[in-house]
Amino acid sequence: MKEEILSRIQKKFPLVPKPFKVIADELEMSEEEVLAILQDQKKKNIIRQTSAIFDTKRLGYTSSLVAFKIPEEKISAAVKIINAHPGISHNYERNHEFNIWFTLAVAPDSKLGLDKTLEILSDLTEAQEYIMLPTLKLFKINVKLNTTGKDEKKEKVKKVIHKDIDLSPLHHQIIRKAQYNIEMVSEPFKAIIDELNIDYDKFFSILAELQEAGVMRRFASILNHRKAGFNANAMVVWDVEEGEKGEEIGAIAAAFSAVSHCYLRPKYSNWPYNLFTMVHGKTTEETNGIIAEMEKEIESKTHMPLYSSREFKKVRIEYFTPAFEAWEAQHIS
């Protein structure tokens, strides 16, 4: 039953006053039993975070995947420097000469911008070389680990058209609150509505507006991959045709349920791979098997799985906080 609950909270978290009662009713359990299991999973760090997941770009932030080439003896110092930037959400060591991979975002009011920020980080870390890999086309971003083993190998990836929205002060207030971890208690949203002096209907209607506008991707739990038993997670990069053909191939790759992230990114003279897919499995054999199945359907000149050997940082960016401005003030000469 634990696996069923973990599957449920990853996919579509009930946005109601008592979400765990809804899950309990679906699974024919008591709310207390569901909460006890989730509190235990949270205590064991299997559940990493349960919160709103916002779209960095739709909030006005500029972001990119970045790969640094750092000498082995300088990795430790470099990681501390990189991780200190508030716009770093993920940072891994991977099995390639470009060995340090991270995502970087800068705020809408950034004085430095993305390019200059990267130049500063490159200088500070003494990177030998780096490549910036912004998203050209997003096909899928949806981390749902198959905890039950019952998920289909393929899934339909819906194409969503977002509504335009002007963010009001209340939208901003709710974004600031909903981005943080909720407690595993009967009414996890009560503290937010009490603090903002609004009712549940208003709170959930604002979240619905944010989701319709693509500002909030979804509200869900994210699991700690390794703690949940998914120990072989590979970023598989593919050299595929560009243009319309590349988009067709990207859609094929995104349909695999084990793929959580799928993007087209630019090619460079020193980096020929433009299709990026994150593939999750419990063992290297399982992950390699999924990649082999993908290879049968994906037309590519070549591909390469980049396994993460070390995780240095994996957090949610804290939006609309003074940390970005403070970092820039420290580093603007």
pTM: 0.85
194, part of any domain:
no
How are beta strands 137-141 and 88-94 bridged, if at all? unpaired
Query: 97 and 34 share a domain?
Result: no
Domain-embedded: residue 176? no
83 and 13, same structural domain? Answer: no
Rounded CA separation 4/6 (Å)? 6
pLDDT at 242 over 80: yes
Number of domains observed in the structure of the chain = 2
Domain contains 331: no
Handedness of CA 71, 73, 75, 77 (dihedral sign): negative
Which candidate, 310, 291, 318, places its Cα nearest to that of 180? 318
Check if the beta carbon of residue 114 is closer than 8 Å to that of residue 60.
no
Q: Are 277 and 235 in contact (CB under 8 A)?
A: yes
Let me know if residue 181 belongs to a domain.
Answer: no
Q: What is the pLDDT of residues 188-210, one digit of tens each?
A: 999 999 999 999 999 999 999 99
Helix (H, G, I), strand (E, B) or coil at 225: coil
Residue 225 pLDDT: 58
In a domain, 157, yes or no: no
Transcribe 159-178 into DSSP letters: --PPPP-PPPHHHHHHHHHH
Statement to judge: residues 301 and 234 lie in one domain:
yes
| pLDDT (0 to 100) of residue 304 | 96
- Provide mean pLDDT across the span 111-132: 97
Residues 302 and 261: their CA atoms lie apart, in Å, by 19
Q: Are residues 140 and 273 in the same domain?
A: yes
Taking the chain, what is the end-to-end CA distance rounded to the nearest angstrom? 56
Indicate the length of the chain as a whole number: 333
Does some domain include residue 105?
yes
DSSP state of 124: H
Instruction: Assess whether pLDDT exceeds 70 at residue 129.
Output: yes
71 and 126 co-located in one domain: yes
Model confidence at 11, in pLDDT bands (50, 70, 90)?
confident
**5, 123: one domain:** no
Which residue range forms the structural domain that includes residue 15?
A: 1-44
Determine what percent of the chain is predicted with pLDDT higher than 70. Answer: 92
Domain containing 81 — which CATH number? 3.30.70.3460
Q: Are residues 25 and 119 in the same domain?
A: no
Q: Is residue 90 included in any domain, yes or no?
A: yes
80 shares its domain with 137:
yes
In this prediction, residue 229 carries a pLDDT of 55
pLDDT of res. 157: 60
Q: Are residues 298 and 266 in the same domain?
A: yes
Cross-strand partners of 51: 220
DSSP-assigned beta bridge partners for residue 264: 137, 275
Give mean pLDDT, residues 68-90: 97
145-168 residue pLDDT tens: 555 455 556 666 666 667 888 899
Q: What is the mean pLDDT of the chain?
A: 91
Residues 14 and 122 in one domain: no
246: in domain? yes
Residue 92 near residue 84, CB atoms below 8 Å: no
What does R_g of the chain's alpha carbons equal in angstroms? 20
Per mean pLDDT, which range of 36-40, 188-192, 238-242, 282-286 is the poorest? 282-286
- 264 lies in the same domain as 309: yes
Catalytic residues, by residue number, are: 90
What does the alpha-carbon distance between residue 47 and residue 36 come to, in Å, rounded to a whole number? Answer: 13
pLDDT 10s digits, 13-60: 999 999 999 999 999 999 999 999 999 989 988 888 899 999 999 999
